[in-house]
Chains A and B, each alone.
Chain A
Amino acid sequence: MDKILVGLKRVVDYNVRVRVKADGTGVETDGVKMSINPFDEIALEEALRIKERGEANEVIVVSIGPADAQQQLRTGLAMGADRAILIKVDQPTDALGRARALLEIAKRENPGLVILGKQAIDDDNSQTAQMLAALWNRPQATFASKLELNGNMARVVREVDVGLETIEIDLPAVISVDLRLNEPRYVKLPDIMKAKKKPLDEISLQDLGVSVAPRLEELRFEPPAERQKGVMVEDVAGLIAALKDKGLL
């Protein structure tokens, strides 16, 4: 295939303990470490391996977000992507809007594969890949833990609740990746330097002709109910007594 498109979302780093803003309008992001969504690093790693095996010519990373998302795209270029596209948008977007924006890029670039994460760890939506596949009228293979290309088909092993399901799909297709697909490479310093020279194009949503005005209203953000502090027991006998006390044994 010629091209692979990979979505990179800029999200609060997975190690950060997020805090809800006091007025309930969102979560604190000031001074908080931002990273590539961990699943998207795996998506990119898979695309790079496919290219390195000679099964694709070009890997393009795309992010929909504010100007700062350039940082994540630069990291993607340093990992080995050939070029980057920032779909710049300053207002919030929703999943359908993001899928529509990715569809426009897919129509322009005609990739053989679009590889996305199975979920973004901020909104935990797990929707974009499926929506893009629907709008594009192409196959989807979600929660992929193994991907094999075979001409204009792919065989994908999917992590489902009861085990591992294998499906076969025609290309082009959309894949969403699970954690066990691969281990993403580390970025080396010289690659960061090289990445500065790689093309990073910017396009606004308006220019793509997509309206992403969110239709879901986010009314309130709040912390979840806290669990009450428990008791410590000294030994197995204490544990059994405590469980009996709660009627669990």
Chain B
Amino acid sequence: MSKILIIAEHDGRSLNQSTAKTVACATGVSAASIDILVMAESAGLVAAEAAKLDAVSRVLTVENTANANALAATLAPQVVALAAGYSHVFGPSTTFGRDLMPRVAALLGVNQISDIMAILDSHTFKRPIYAGNVVLTVKAPSDQPVVATVRMASYQPVASNSQAAIESVSCSAEIPAHTRYIDLKSGSSDRPDLQTATKVVSGGRALASSENFKIIFELADKLGAGVGASRAAVDAGYVPNEMQVGQTGKIIAPELYLAIGISGAIQHLTGIKDAGTIVAINKDAEAPIFEVADIGLVGDLFSIVPELTAALK
């Protein structure tokens, strides 16, 4: 019978929603148990949140000052030490999980399944390749642990109606000193988080400056939406990198996505394939974005967007 260990993602204070989505994916394995591992400096708050998640059997905590920040080189040996007895070790396919999990896999001597989007059985998974233009079904060997990351846009977080046991565990893994955390600069905003927002408005190169991006923010505020951008807009410096949507940015699945002045390159479309409704506003009727848009409007964004914002009273 399968036993699953899920590596919690958190910032020391609260649990990232990616963990509840990873649990949702794990329920597809029909395992005997699903445990969550919280590695932190002080795990209390995060563990309490994790314990509420449905389908979770136990929350294991490892408290260590070295775990104050999530460094893959620090965390991986601890995961490996605690992974004994588990048939599956899952993490989210966020930058946290994508940094950590392959290091864990290599130390366990196995390959990693990246970006699970569907589970066929305990060892058979679907995952996107070629920027989501191909879906590959892969089978992992049954005589080794399965190490995998979970594609966030494919799962809804499990609910928080439970009360799992929390157990503090000790871990004697040797922690290397060769990697040191310095700092984190985040463009913190009070707008909804891009990856969890139900509505997202994104702007592209056509915005032409960071000042002009204001009209995107105004529309987003009216809709209660998160704000994203194409790579071209990020590269040009109109908005910070954490707003990039696409193959190499964030893969998102909002109910409503508005692509404004974005051509619809395949690398961008990869990021929005699972959006509920895609709206495209573009002055070029031939733009590829219209091939995937549910609702398309051809015209100049600089007149359409303010008009739309004004109309949304």
Contacts and interface: CB of A to CB of B under 8 A. Distances in A.
Interface residues of A, number: 83
Q: Is the interface of B mostly helix, strand, loop or mixed?
A: mixed
Interface string B85-105: 000000000111011111111
Contact of B136 (A161, A215, A218): A218
A78 B286 CA distance: 37
A183 B255 CA distance: 35
B266 to A, nearest CB: 7
Interface string A182-203: 0000000000000000000000
A67 interface: no
Given A96-B111, A230-B294, A167 B185 contact: no
B52 to A, nearest CB: 23
A146 to B, nearest CB: 11
B138 A219 contact: yes
B111 A216 contact: yes
Nearest to B298: A232
A139 B186 CA distance: 23
A62 B83 CA distance: 33
A240 B298 contact: no
A246 B255 CA distance: 11
Interface string A226-240: 011111111111111
Give the bracket for the number of chain B residues in contact with chain A.
Answer: 35 or more
Interface stretch (A50-58, A68-76, A80-88, A121-129): A121-129
B129 A219 contact: no
Q: Is the interface of A mostly helix, strand, loop or mixed?
A: mixed
A18 B275 CA distance: 22
A17 B133 CA distance: 8
A27 B184 contact: no
Nearest to B305: A236
B134 A20 contact: yes
A164 B297 contact: no
A249 B312 contact: yes
A9 to B, nearest CB: 14
Given A139-B73, A220-B136, A236-B307, A126 B278 contact: no
A10 interface: no
B109 to A, nearest CB: 7
B67 interface: no
A27 B242 contact: no
Among B100, B178, B185, B195, the one with the most A-chain Cβ atoms within 10 Å of its Cβ is B178
A217 B111 CA distance: 11
Contacts of B235: 179-180
Contacts of B104: 134
A226 to B, nearest CB: 9
A163 B106 contact: no
Contacts of A121: 130-131, 247
B80 to A, nearest CB: 9
Q: Which 10 A-B pairs have the closest CB atoms?
A: A163-B186, A130-B102, A131-B106, A134-B106, A230-B294, A127-B102, A166-B182, A217-B139, A160-B95, A170-B178
Given A27-B134, A95-B111, A134-B76, 19 more contacts: A17-B133, A18-B130, A18-B134, A96-B110, A124-B129, A130-B106, A134-B102, A160-B184, A163-B186, A163-B242, A217-B138, A221-B137, A222-B135, A227-B273, A230-B290, A232-B295, A240-B312, A243-B295, A249-B312
12 contacts: A96-B109, A121-B130, A123-B129, A130-B100, A159-B241, A165-B181, A179-B231, A218-B136, A221-B134, A232-B298, A246-B294, A249-B312
